Structure 1
């Protein structure tokens, strides 16, 4: 008779439910600031270019530099800091981020601004590698899917609330002011993290190990992440030329459509959080199928405005839900340390972002903007088939054993 291999994981650090909820809210606020800072320059490129006397094409590289830093340094930084207590590490990460944001607000030259963005990218890479496990580890395993979704709401609100508010503030004052405001908020968040997050070594965290570790299934999840994010980002990156040039919407309706997509992302993240703990695999299947349908609809139904709006909303909702689902699935299947696993998921996510933008641009240049959602749909279908067909054939995840249980 074969013996079933099991995995023992630590329980959550002993903190009051109120303190745990407050710590989660603070980390969600940090996620909001990081995502807002990452994408904010897209709404202020013209103002930044004029302020620094640089062409828009060169100024746009500050967004690219940020993404490259996140991809390259997520895993190395996580490995280097693997034994650092999470309260101190997250406090320091937010402090460095606030310093980098203040540097961006002061930057007298383009080169200084790029340096500030690189520093922000380094703190971003480390934050997303450790924040999910640190936040969800304060709660019992049976509710961590819901907690991941709540953490993800912070990042989902960045493009919906943070970027429009930051752009508006820059238009009323100066492009440097939003960066200064984000720096001030980050200082407050760093102090709150230090006050609320308990002190414990990384291996003692409640989410230090995956609840259902499986190396082959986690490796497949990384491939699925790259494909699905590339599909979603190819469409979202070029949604403006699609709705204006192909679907024929008026230019003044673009901001409304983008708002619909962003708001749907918040709703999708909230809804999926209600089911992640009970049906994590099914949630991934549903959001991937929803993305495939939404993208196929944009490809085939561009002449019908109402259906275009519906497909844009479905794209935003499923993409927002997918981010939380992939994060939660990574925490479940992590074959070793969950911080390393989250760094890997973050790297795969950012590779997908870069690949989606690049290949979407190639399709746009060689065919037409209508081909972009078709490519996005094919990538989403490929990811869905891997989850439906390949994952069930891989070795099953090892069941969780609580500390109070004994492995026989």
Structure 2
């Protein structure tokens, strides 16, 4: 006898409700803009750190908590929020999240002391914690199953553009006006996405969405991807958190050259996301394994050869080119192997990845007093190699 869940899964796959031909791309564009805005909001205080510090009369390390507290909130809140809203139509969830983004950005822009700014940041973080869990299933459900990888790639390109264009533009604008101006600009971008999604995204029960359930549920694969993604994130941010120090102290680049290399790093990340996104539909497993392996090579290469400028640039590009694709490929895998609802699986992946980011930054801080910054990249490379071994062991089991 069919269970209700089984019947719901088949109904979702057999009778997907997709908007009209022009509405789908329009909604996807709004979701891409939302991804860009959320990722810019997450990282913007890094570029405005000194300006906020002077304006609010707090130390730079205190301003840094606006970023670390944000990441910790996303890590802790993703899964509970996804579970708590699992029965709410995705249109209502997304419009609520974008309304929270608009409100929190306006609150941040109007903050005259550190406390209100921190509260506004935490509200944004709570919205982002759920955003990535629901956006993937909604976006891929707008299109045919055979292009899901390209849809996830488009979202990831938009998110990566935040580091390449969003944060630098916000830093530039804040430096020429006031740090509150780019914060307010985020509210305007969020409002555009909010209006578009509210007007064009159909309202339907979450369990009947075309991508509500994994296409090939596999509990072991789910656990493997979750573990490998968390190890990769921990490894990446054990080193990446101290990248500026590495490029100056180990590779010997001038401050001006370091700035250009950071742009090159972001560009490599964007290129990696674009290339991987085009291949995800055909090679989903290989895409994740390749991205993790390239990250391991890049980080270990920086540790071994980072004292020489040319190899340092090459391995820096490899590390940057893998950073975005690892998370993107893991998210795409969750749409395939999720043992239950894909939004819950994506929330678990997002939470694990953000926990890895926080753990990596903390591990790097513990290593620095004991060894030079190359030790952080060695540890990061070894952790990423561990992620490779996790994926390899699962492939051997399957093969």
Tell me the TM-score normalised to structure 2 length.
Answer: 0.95
Separation of aligned partners in 1, 2:323 and 2:253: 23
Deviation beyond 6 Å, 4+ runs, structure 1? none
Gaps of 5+ in 1: 397-408
What SS does the aligned partner of 2:202 have?
Answer: coil
Q: Deviations over 1:323-342 (max 9, x none)?
A: 21011011111100111111
Separation of aligned partners in 1, 2:137 and 2:338: 11
Equivalent of 2:270 in 245, 254, 266: 266
Shift of 1:31: 0.6
Equivalent of 1:74 in 73, 78, 102: 78
Shift of 1:234: 1.8
Separation of aligned partners in 2, 1:365 and 1:143: 48
CA RMSD of aligned residues (A): 1.6
User: What is the aligned partner in structure 1 of residue 3 from structure 2?
Assistant: none
2:151 is the alignment partner of 1:147: yes
Tell me the TM-score normalised to structure 1 length.
Answer: 0.93
Q: Deviations over 1:138-188 (max 9, x none)?
A: 112211011101111111111111110000000000010000010111111
Shift of 1:260: 0.5
Equivalent of 1:352 in 328, 352, 356: 356
Equivalent of 1:205 in 182, 202, 209: 209
User: What is the aligned partner in structure 2 of residue 232 from structure 1?
Assistant: 236
User: What is the aligned partner in structure 1 of residue 287 from structure 2?
Assistant: 283
Q: Deviations over 1:288-312 (max 9, x none)?
A: 1111111111011112211111111
Gaps of 5+ in 2: 1-5
Q: Which aligned pairs between 1:92-171 and structure 2 lie closer than 5 A?
A: 92-171=96-175
2:177 is the alignment partner of 1:173: yes
**Higher mean displacement: 229-238 or 150-159:** 229-238
Separation of aligned partners in 2, 1:251 and 1:228: 28
Separation of aligned partners in 2, 1:287 and 1:200: 35
Q: How many corresponding residue pairs? A: 391
User: What is the aligned partner in structure 2 of residue 403 from structure 1?
Assistant: none
Equivalent of 1:254 in 255, 258, 261: 258
Shift of 1:130: 0.5
Given that residues 139 and 206 in structure 1 are in contact (C-alpha distance below 8 angstroms), is that contact kept between their aligned partners in structure 2?
no
Separation of aligned partners in 2, 1:287 and 1:213: 23
Separation of aligned partners in 2, 1:203 and 1:57: 44
Shift of 1:391: 4.5
Given that residues 364 and 372 in structure 1 are in contact (C-alpha distance below 8 angstroms), is that contact kept between their aligned partners in structure 2?
yes
Given that residues 30 and 189 in structure 1 are in contact (C-alpha distance below 8 angstroms), is that contact kept between their aligned partners in structure 2?
yes
User: What is the aligned partner in structure 2 of residue 371 from structure 1?
Assistant: 375
Given that residues 141 and 211 in structure 1 are in contact (C-alpha distance below 8 angstroms), is that contact kept between their aligned partners in structure 2?
no
Separation of aligned partners in 2, 1:103 and 1:16: 36
Separation of aligned partners in 2, 1:76 and 1:88: 18
Shift of 1:392: 4.1
Separation of aligned partners in 1, 2:388 and 2:180: 43
What SS does the aligned partner of 1:111 have?
Answer: helix
Shift of 1:12: 3.5
In terms of fraction of residues, the more helix-rich structure is 2
User: What is the aligned partner in structure 2 of residue 330 from structure 1?
Assistant: 334
User: What is the aligned partner in structure 2 of residue 57 from structure 1?
Assistant: 61
What SS does the aligned partner of 1:365 have?
Answer: coil
Separation of aligned partners in 1, 2:156 and 2:396: 27
Given that residues 250 and 306 in structure 2 are in contact (C-alpha distance below 8 angstroms), is that contact kept between their aligned partners in structure 1?
yes
